[in-house]
Amino acid sequence: MLATTISFRPELDAWRLSGYGVPVDCAPVAGRHPVGGERRPVSLAGVRTLWLVEDGALDVFAVGAHGLGRWHFLGRLTAGALVPASAPGPEHVLVGRPVPGCALRRIRATELAYGAELASGDRAAMVRAVEAGLRPLLSNVDIAPVAGTPTLVPGQRTELRPGDAARPERGIVWIRVLRGRVGDLEPGDVTVVDDAIASDPGAWLAVGSTGELLASGSLWRHLAAVELRLRYALGRRIAALSGEARVRPARSAA
């Protein structure tokens, strides 16, 4: 007997989530050819708001000077990705440039308050959508990888001895620091990781999943805080890379 494999398609996730929120105008810039023309950028700012790529694709940028400065490409999101809005604070804000054929929806987090109240198919789609929307930020704040064993498993607690490193067994996990420190994270802090983490002084961590946070009703609060943390880290990363770029020509001239 052949085994049946049930797979998911991001387009189906987008369809499931398209009942939430309101559509966003992604029409071509005035004066351009209406078919395949350049789409106007969409500021992904907001408070307790999420942006759903309902169809097509969206190129995501971090723009300095609070949206008026240099553009830094972060990645392309396709249908089914849910992007957390850029709340006020960091210098860099997220801006989307719709690819021709892109459709966006703006969703208030209050519509999604408690995952336990959502249909099971919507919950699973929401988890995949949130994790897809986090990847451009996560991938652009990653630094040189450290060695780590795959011991971050949702539902378990993990001890990091001084100097230890660990990484998710698979995909994205959420960690809460119970004791000790992980980078600049102190006891009580929550963050999301998709790569190895290390602790110089050692730490105890509680590990959870996106689905667990959604079911408990705490996902949107933690997602907003993590988005801010990641954008601050992204700003530091961009500043460091810009500094290195300025130093190299100076050394060459010397």
For 84, list phi and psi in degrees, rounded to 5.
Answer: -70, 140
Other C-beta atoms closer than 10 Å to the C-beta of 78 total 16
CATH code that applies to domain 151-242:
2.60.120.10
Q: What value does the mean pLDDT take over residues 188-194?
A: 94
Q: Is the dihedral of CA 191, 170, 16, 76 positive or negative?
A: positive
d(CA 17, CA 122): 7
The model's pLDDT over 3-31, given as tens digits with 9 standing for 90+, comes to: 333 445 788 899 989 999 999 988 765 55
What mean pLDDT value characterizes the chain? Answer: 85
d(CA 86, CA 93): 6
The pLDDT-based confidence of 143 (bands split at 50, 70, 90) is low
Q: What value does the mean pLDDT take over residues 70-96?
A: 95
Q: What is the value of pTM for the model shown?
A: 0.85
Query: For the chain, what are the domain ranges?
Result: 23-117, 151-242
State yes or no: pLDDT of 245 exceeds 90. Answer: no
The model's pLDDT over 39-62, given as tens digits with 9 standing for 90+, comes to: 689 999 999 999 999 999 999 999
State yes or no: pLDDT of 35 exceeds 70. Answer: no
For 186, list phi and psi in degrees, rounded to 5.
Answer: -110, 170
The model's pLDDT over 217-242, given as tens digits with 9 standing for 90+, comes to: 899 999 999 999 999 999 999 998 87
Topology of 23-117 in CATH?
Answer: Jelly Rolls (2.60.120)
